[in-house]
Chains A and B, each alone.
Chain A
Amino acid sequence: MERIPILKMGSFLLVTIQVDLYDRLALNLESDLINMVSKTGARGVLIDISAVSIVDSFMGRILGNIASMSRIMDAETVVVGMQPAVAITLVELGLTLQGVYTALDVEKGMELLQKKIDLYAPQSEDEEEQSPDDYTD
Chain B
Amino acid sequence: MDNNNTAQLLQRKKREILESWMNNQLADEALRDDLISNEELRRQSEELLEALLKAISNGNFENVYSSEYEQITDILSDVSVTRARQGFSPRETNMYVLSLKQALTDTLEQERRNQPEVLYREILMVNKLLDNLALTTFETYLKGREEVILRQTDEINEISTPVIRVWDGILALPIIGTLDSSRTQIVMENLLQEIVNTGSSIAILDISGVPAVDSLVAQHLIKTVSATRLMGAECIISGVRAEIAQTIVHLGIDLSNIKTKASLASALQLAFGMLNIEVRKAGNSRSLK
* Contact code string A61-82 (vs B, CB < 8 Å = 1, else 0): 0000000000000000001111
Q: In the complex, what residues of A have CB within 8 A of residue B196's CB? A: 83-84, 104
Known: A84-B196, A87-B192, A130-B257. A104 touches B233 (CB 8 A): yes
Report the separation of the CA atoms of residues A104 and B231 in the bound assembly, to the nearest whole angstrom: 6
Q: Is there contact, CB below 8 Å, between A88 and B227?
A: yes
Q: Is there contact, CB below 8 Å, between B226 and A136?
A: yes
* Contact code string B101-118 (vs A, CB < 8 Å = 1, else 0): 000000000000000000
Residue of B nearest to A81 (CB): B232
Which A86-137 residues have a C-beta within 8 angstroms of B? 86-88, 90-92, 96-97, 102-105, 108-109, 130, 133, 135-136
Residue of B nearest to A86 (CB): B230
Q: Is there contact, CB below 8 Å, between B254 and A135?
A: yes
Report the separation of the CA atoms of residues A87 and B228 in the bound assembly, to the nearest whole angstrom: 8
Which B182-239 residues have a C-beta within 8 angstroms of A? 185, 188-189, 192-193, 195-196, 199, 201, 219, 222-223, 226-233
Report the separation of the CA atoms of residues A109 and B201 in the bound assembly, to the nearest whole angstrom: 12
Which of these, B192, B195, B222, B258, contacts A88 with CB under 8 Å? Answer: B192
Interface size class of chain A, counting residues whose CB lies under 8 Å from the partner chain: 20 to 34
Which B118-142 residues have a C-beta within 8 angstroms of A? none
Report the separation of the CA atoms of residues A136 and B219 in the bound assembly, to the nearest whole angstrom: 8
Q: Is there contact, CB below 8 Å, between B199 and A84?
A: no
Which of these, A87, A105, A109, A133, contacts B230 with CB under 8 Å? Answer: A87
Q: In the complex, what residues of A have CB within 8 A of residue B255's CB? A: 135
Which of these, A79, A96, A103, A130, contacts B226 with CB under 8 Å? Answer: A96
Q: Size of chain B's interface in residues, with CB distance under 8 A?
A: 25
User: Among the interface residues A83, A92, A96, A108, which one has the most CB atoms of the partner chain B within 10 A?
Assistant: A96
Report the separation of the CA atoms of residues A105 and B189 in the bound assembly, to the nearest whole angstrom: 18
Which of these, A80, A96, A104, contacts B195 with CB under 8 Å? Answer: A104
Which of these, B199, B231, B256, contacts A87 with CB under 8 Å? Answer: B231
Q: In the complex, what residues of A have CB within 8 A of residue B189's CB? A: 84, 88
Q: In the complex, what residues of A have CB within 8 A of residue B232's CB? A: 79-82, 102-105, 108-109
Q: In the complex, what residues of A have CB within 8 A of residue B231's CB? A: 82, 84, 87, 102, 104
Q: In the complex, what residues of B have CB within 8 A of residue A81's CB? A: 232
Q: Is there contact, CB below 8 Å, between B229 and A102?
A: yes
Residue of B nearest to A101 (CB): B232
Would you give the shortest CB distance from B46 to chain A, in whole angstroms? 53
Known: A103-B232, A104-B233, A109-B232. A87 touches B227 (CB 8 A): yes
Report the separation of the CA atoms of residues A105 and B199 in the bound assembly, to the nearest whole angstrom: 8
Q: In the complex, what residues of B have CB within 8 A of residue A103's CB? A: 232
Q: In the complex, what residues of B have CB within 8 A of residue A133's CB? A: 257
Would you give the shortest CB distance from B126 to chain A, in whole angstroms? 55
Report the separation of the CA atoms of residues A109 and B231 in the bound assembly, to the nearest whole angstrom: 11
Q: In the complex, what residues of B have CB within 8 A of residue A90's CB? A: 227, 230
Would you give the shortest CB distance from A124 to chain B, in whole angstroms? 18
Report the separation of the CA atoms of residues A84 and B188 in the bound assembly, to the nearest whole angstrom: 8
Would you give the shortest CB distance from A17 to chain B, in whole angstroms? 15
Would you give the shortest CB distance from B197 to chain A, in whole angstroms? 10
Binding site for B on A (CB under 8 A): 79-84, 86-88, 90-92, 96-97, 102-105, 108-109, 130, 133, 135-136
